Structure formats: structure tokens, C-alpha cells
Amino acid sequence: FDVIQKLGVDKIAVNEGSTHIVIDKDYVGEQELQKVIKACPAALYDEDEFGSVRFDFAGCLECGTCRVLCGKTIVKQWNYPESSFGVEFRYG
């Protein structure tokens, strides 16, 4: 099993109406952005053609890494998803 296959085993209930992580979409800072792009285990962070952060919360594993790394820059708010939403880990 590689990481991608393992992630595919998990189930995620996405709350389409509300993101549990709010990022600063205007943030431009190469060093911080590269850190979080490399560190997010679900590869949810990316950089657009203008050097701004691109983020998709739907596959979040709720590990908190982005909050610890970039909680004062890119990540403006970090909360766990509301009850009944979020990741369900399966170790199959």
C-alpha cells in the first residue's frame, strides 16, 4: 500500500456549506507556502500561477499540521468539522 491507496480507504463527509479551515487567499509568501504544500499529508495546498495559495478543504485529514506551520500566516481559522462531518479513518 502506498500513501495514496491508504488515503483512498478513508471516508470523508464533506460539509459543502462551510469550510472548517479558512485561509488567507491573498497570501503570497513563497517560503511559508512551500512548507505547507510539502507538509499537508493530503496534498490539499497548491500554488496558483500568481504565487497565491490554492486550497481545497474537502480531503482534510484533520491532522493540524497546516495550523501549526502557518497558523499566523496562511491559515486564518482552523476548526474541526462540525459533528457528523469530517474524516473517518479506516485501517483496512
The H or E element spanning position 13 is strand 11-13
Residue 53: all three cell numbers together: 495559495
Q: How far is the CB of 92 from ligand SF4 (least distance, A)?
A: 20
- Minimum distance of ligand SF4 from residue 61's CB (angstroms): 4
Evaluate the CA torsion angle 9, 13, 16, 22 in order and state its sign.
negative
Is position 32 an interface residue for ligand SF4 (rule: CB under 6 A)? Answer: no
DSSP state of 27: -
53 versus 66: smaller Cβ distance to ligand SF4? 66
59 secondary structure, DSSP code: G
Give residues 38-77 in contact with ligand SF4 (rule: CB under 6 A): 40-42, 44, 60-66
Interface residue list for ligand SF4 (CB under 6 A): 21, 40-42, 44, 60-66
